[in-house]
């Protein structure tokens, strides 16, 4: 069964699916990592749901700045700490090496987090769960596995595709974070790759990977063998990476498709620095022949107010899943520098300054 009837709504499926980091604690170089969880609720639904994550603190953790990493649709937190050649493909490693703590979460409906009925997990609902996580961290009301309080002075949301949509929705509605790094998204609602999403997705319960997994109805995934054309620019990516990506894909709650385009105007409410990162050949975020042409990506900054200090970065020779292309480390490094300059301890917004120059 191919969900052609989803039509243009399946544009948002174009995200990267990672693998869940292994067990409770790992030593990523000098960073100490451990699994954490948050109890979150959905508006109008009784009870709470578990949201799982991995918190990594660099060796000299001063609790100043935390990056919350939000994966795209049908992925999980492993997108940010990919299990293949982590020295090249792990955003977490680069962020930790730059001195930033990271919290990579499994959104509700993905990875080790709970899977509510799929129709309940919309973009707005997901943004609210991230808001609940941000609030808990601001309050210091959650501890890590060692019993240490999780509390940071500054919080940056880092999203990929649907995770970027959730990030700008959270910031636009709640205004409780200090910066945004958005990747693989733009305000172009009709990119040329959209028709692929009409034929390359199906219900997760039909997929051999999820056979016997008890995935409830209302969840989607990509049809086996379709990820290369959806998410990659060749030869900018390794076939070995694409193979791992196919093996480790996750699920997408169908509710995300219901309101994804209703959030686009919320970027006008964002009054903290924004970095927008797009692969030059991302057919799901901008028009071709490249994202540097005359398509809507060239005007992306006009969707943000002046005090968002909008900065745009085009990653060459990369498609939608920019973390999984060969030159991923180049944008990782630039993102860490941007966060330090625009959100770090020396940032002074009182004078309207967009970073240090």
> Does 291 have pLDDT greater than 60?
yes
Q: CA-to-CA distance for 128 and 116, rounded, in angstroms?
A: 15
Express each pLDDT in 67-112 by its tens digit.
Answer: 999 999 889 999 999 999 999 999 999 999 999 999 999 999 999 9
| Domains of the chain, residue spans | 4-342
pLDDT cut 90: percent of the chain above it: 75
> Does 250 have pLDDT greater than 90?
yes
> Does 190 have pLDDT greater than 60?
yes
Residue in 275, 287, 277 with CA at minimum distance from that of residue 325: 277
Q: CA-to-CA distance for 195 and 107, rounded, in angstroms?
A: 26
Q: CA-to-CA distance for 25 and 18, rounded, in angstroms?
A: 18
What is the pLDDT confidence band of residue 12, given thresholds at 50, 70 and 90?
Answer: very low
Residue located via tokens 């009925």:
117
CB 160 within 8 A of CB 167: no
pTM, two decimals, is 0.90
* Residue 326 exposure: Cα atoms within 13 Å on the Cβ side: 10
**Angle of helix 162-174 relative to helix 123-139, nearest 10 degrees?**
60
The verdict on domain 4-342 having CATH code 3.40.50.1820 is: yes
């Amino acid at each position: 069964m191919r969900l052609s009837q989803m039509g243009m709504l399946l544009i948002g499926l174009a995200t990267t699916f990672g693998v869940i980091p292994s067990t409770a604690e790992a030593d990523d170089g000098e960073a100490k990592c451990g699994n954490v969880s948050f109890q979150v609720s959905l508006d109008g639904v009784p009870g709470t749901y578990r949201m799982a994550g991995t918190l990594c603190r660099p060796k000299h953790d001063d609790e100043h700045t935390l990056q919350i990493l939000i994966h795209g649709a049908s992925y999980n937190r492993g997108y940010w700490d990919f299990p293949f050649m982590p020295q090249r493909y792990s955003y977490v490693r680069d962020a930790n090496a730059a001195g930033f703590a990271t919290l990579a979460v499994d959104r509700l409906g993905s990875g080790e987090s709970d899977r509510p009925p799929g129709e309940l997990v919309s973009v707005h609902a997901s943004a609210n769960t991230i808001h609940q996580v941000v609030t808990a961290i601001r309050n210091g009301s959650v501890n890590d596995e060692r019993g240490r309080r999780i509390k940071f002075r500054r919080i940056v949301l880092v999203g990929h595709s649907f995770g970027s949509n959730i990030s700008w929705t959270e910031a636009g509605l709640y205004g409780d974070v200090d910066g945004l790094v958005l990747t693989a998204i733009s305000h172009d609602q009709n990119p040329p790759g959209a028709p692929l999403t009409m034929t390359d997705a199906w219900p997760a319960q039909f997929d051999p990977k999820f056979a016997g997994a008890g995935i409830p109805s209302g969840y989607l995934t990509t049809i086996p063998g379709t990820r290369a054309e959806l998410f990659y620019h060749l030869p900018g990516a390794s076939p070995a990476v694409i193979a791992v990506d196919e093996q480790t894909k996750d699920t997408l709650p169908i509710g995300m498709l219901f309101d994804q385009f209703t959030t686009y105007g919320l970027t006008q409410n964002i009054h903290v620095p924004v970095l927008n990162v797009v692969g030059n050949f991302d057919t799901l975020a901008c028009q071709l022949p490249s994202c540097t042409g005359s398509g809507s990506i060239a005007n992306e900054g006009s969707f943000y107010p002046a005090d968002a200090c909008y900065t745009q970065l085009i990653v060459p020779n990369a498609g939608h899943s920019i973390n999984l292309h060969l030159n991923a480390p180049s944008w990782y490094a630039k993102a860490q520098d941007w966060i330090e300059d625009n959100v770090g301890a020396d940032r002074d917004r009182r004078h309207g300054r967009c970073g240090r120059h």
